[in-house]
């Protein structure tokens, strides 16, 4: 049966999956959502003996129904074969009573690779299916991880250009070096004087600007997105939650049907939303634990029902989560409002005009499966230190936020349901913060000296993503004000 998509902000128009992927964001500014959640049509026992690629097909075929079996399998195999440094693409590591789902074994050592390895294939297939003649310009905002993963995925992909905006002073040194050394004639990287929210707002503004889109089309271009606002980013992320559950069953850690909790370090709300989608497909996920850093806008939202971004923005040691406007929350809002596009539009208007919205008591009732909490900077470092001291296992700062919140969750609820913590990035991306947490003051060492120390401390191997950037030449030096993003895009594309 064909699954169609509609915008969170308009009730009537439906589009195909491939169209939604091509557009990235709906014309009315809303996010594309499936008109219904498909249910898994194979059993968990069957999934438990499948490879990651096979599970990916079983999940994605239900969402991307206008892709043929051959097209989808080609996309999946091209994305996941030999691009990950472990045999198991998303291994589960048990440590201190939780299961860490390591999602960082792709080329850029962050969970974004799980979806951005496949998005370019989905995008080019979608372009072919929809007879797109324009070149697709992938506009991306990043707080550190999406940028490099998207650049790597789209570099030199024919028919595409990719432009990434990142906060100049808001990412880790490794994250920045990964991006500014990116090769590929179709890649553009821009540091902005502003934070991630400024970058994301600027990108969304360009998507919605009719005049700019007209000029772009006249020059033979059209925009799309590599952020999780694009449904083509979200669907591949659903896969690893299905896979994690099936793996726990396969490994005898749980029995088929037993509930699990999922705990996700959260910024733009895409990763935890993917777990929510997996739950709606039939995966027995009990609680969705939303872990924030000191930018705790989501914690406050779950606690009060009011979303309020009018607050101080903190630059933290988990920079990928330094976000006050969590775009994907809109998809959840739409769902808990009973798929009411008018209600969603009203709340999003309030968010953009005042920075605040409040959901109704009925909507709050629909949030019962979520638990929100946050970790301070001190608690984040403590989580890394404690886990390392107890088990020798080293986690990055974002995963540590989730680990710390998991402790709070257990203390609050006494719930002992097996819990999967999404381990979203390699500790090597945040060597300074991780080594500081483990060893104390390491300010006298350079970033790469700390990488060396981390190899010794973790007993691991330096990821090739880090080795590559040690000596790689800087290729991107553009920096602009947050108000100059559109002009910068036009300059790159030669539009005057």
Ligand X SMILES: N[C@@H](CCOP(=O)(O)O)C(=O)O
User: Which chain residues interact with ligand X by CB under 6 A?
Assistant: 142-147, 227-228, 267-268, 270, 320
CA dihedral for 93, 322, 269, 380, sign (positive or negative): positive
Q: Which is nearer to ligand X, 47 or 179 (CB)?
A: 179
Q: Parallel, antiparallel, or unpaired: how do β-strands 98-102 and 92-95 relate?
A: antiparallel
CA distances from 115 to 75, 120, 127, 236, 445 (A): 11, 9, 18, 5, 34
For 300-327, give one letter per residue: b (16+ CB within 10 A) or e.
Answer: bbbeeeebbbeeebeebbbbbbbbbbbb
Round to whole Å and give the CA distance between 117 and 233. 10
In sequence order, what are the beta bridge partners of 164?
A: 140, 189
CB of 254 to ligand X, least distance (A): 28
Q: Which is nearer to ligand X, 50 or 155 (CB)?
A: 155
Q: Which is nearer to ligand X, 44 or 434 (CB)?
A: 434
Spatial CB neighbours of 177, under 8 Å, sequence gap ≥ 6: 469, 472
Q: Which is nearer to ligand X, 244 or 273 (CB)?
A: 273
172, 321, 423, 242 alpha-carbon torsion, rounded to 10°: -140
Q: Which is nearer to ligand X, 95 or 270 (CB)?
A: 270
Q: Which is nearer to ligand X, 115 or 336 (CB)?
A: 115
CB of 483 to ligand X, least distance (A): 21
CB of 232 to ligand X, least distance (A): 12
CB of 274 to ligand X, least distance (A): 10
Round to whole Å and give the CA distance between 116 and 113. 5
Distance of CA 63 to the CA centre of its chain: 18
Residues of the chain by 3-state class (helix, strand, coil), percent to 5: 50, 15, 35
């Amino acid at each position: 049966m064909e699954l169609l998509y509609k915008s969170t902000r308009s009730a009537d128009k439906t589009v195909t999956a491939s169209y939604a992927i091509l557009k990235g964001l709906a014309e009315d500014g809303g996010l594309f959502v499936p008109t219904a959640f498909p249910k898994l049509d194979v059993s968990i026992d069957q999934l438990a003996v499948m490879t990651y690629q096979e599970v990916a097909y079983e999940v994605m075929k239900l969402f991307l129904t206008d892709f043929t079996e051959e097209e989808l399998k080609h996309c999946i195999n091209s994305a996941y074969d030999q691009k990950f440094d472990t045999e198991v693409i998303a291994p589960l590591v048990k440590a201190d009573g939780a299961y860490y789902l390591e999602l960082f074994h792709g080329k850029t050592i962050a969970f974004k690779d799980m979806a951005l390895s496949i998005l370019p294939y989905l995008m080019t297939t979608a372009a072919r299916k929809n007879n797109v003649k324009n070149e697709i310009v992938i506009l991306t905002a990043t707080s550190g991880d999406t940028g490099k993963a998207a650049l790597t995925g789209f570099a030199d992909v024919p028919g595409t250009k990719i432009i990434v905006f990142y906060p100049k002073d808001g990412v880790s040194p490794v994250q920045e070096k990964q991006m500014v050394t990116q090769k590929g004639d179709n890649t553009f990287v821009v540091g902005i004087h502003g934070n991630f929210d400024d970058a994301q707002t600027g990108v969304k503004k360009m998507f919605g600007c009719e005049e700019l889109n007209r000029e772009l089309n006249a020059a033979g271009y059209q925009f799309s997105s590599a952020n999780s606002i694009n449904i083509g980013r979200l669907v591949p992320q659903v896969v690893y939650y299905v896979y994690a559950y099936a793996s726990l069953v396969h490994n005898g850690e749980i029995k088929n049907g037993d509930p699990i909790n999922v705990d996700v370090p959260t910024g733009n709300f895409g990763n935890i939303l993917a777990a929510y989608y997996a739950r709606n497909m039939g995966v027995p996920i009990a609680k969705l634990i939303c872990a924030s850093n000191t930018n705790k806008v989501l914690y406050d939202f779950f606690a009060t029902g009011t979303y309020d971004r009018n607050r101080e923005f903190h630059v933290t040691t988990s920079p990928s989560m330094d976000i006050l406007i969590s775009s994907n929350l809109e998809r959840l809002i739409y769902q808990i409002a009973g798929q009411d596009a008018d209600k969603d539009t009203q709340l999003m208007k309030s968010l953009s005009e005042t920075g605040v919205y409040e959901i109704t008591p009925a909507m709050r009732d629909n949030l019962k499966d979520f638990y929100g909490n946050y970790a301070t900077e001190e608690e984040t470092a403590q989580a890394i230190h404690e886990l390392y001291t107890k088990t020798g296992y080293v986690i990055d700062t974002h995963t540590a936020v989730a680990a710390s919140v998991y402790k709070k969750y257990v203390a609050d609820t006494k719930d002992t349901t097996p819990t999967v913590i999404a381990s979203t990035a390699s500790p090597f991306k945040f060597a300074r913060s991780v080594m500081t947490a483990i060893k104390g003051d390491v300010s006298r060492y350079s970033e790469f000296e700390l990488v060396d120390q981390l190899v010794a401390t973790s007993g691991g191997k330096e990821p090739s993503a880090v080795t590559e950037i040690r000596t790689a030449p800087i290729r991107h030096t553009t920096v602009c004000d947050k108000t100059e993003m559109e002009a910068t895009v036009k300059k790159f594309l030669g539009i005057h």
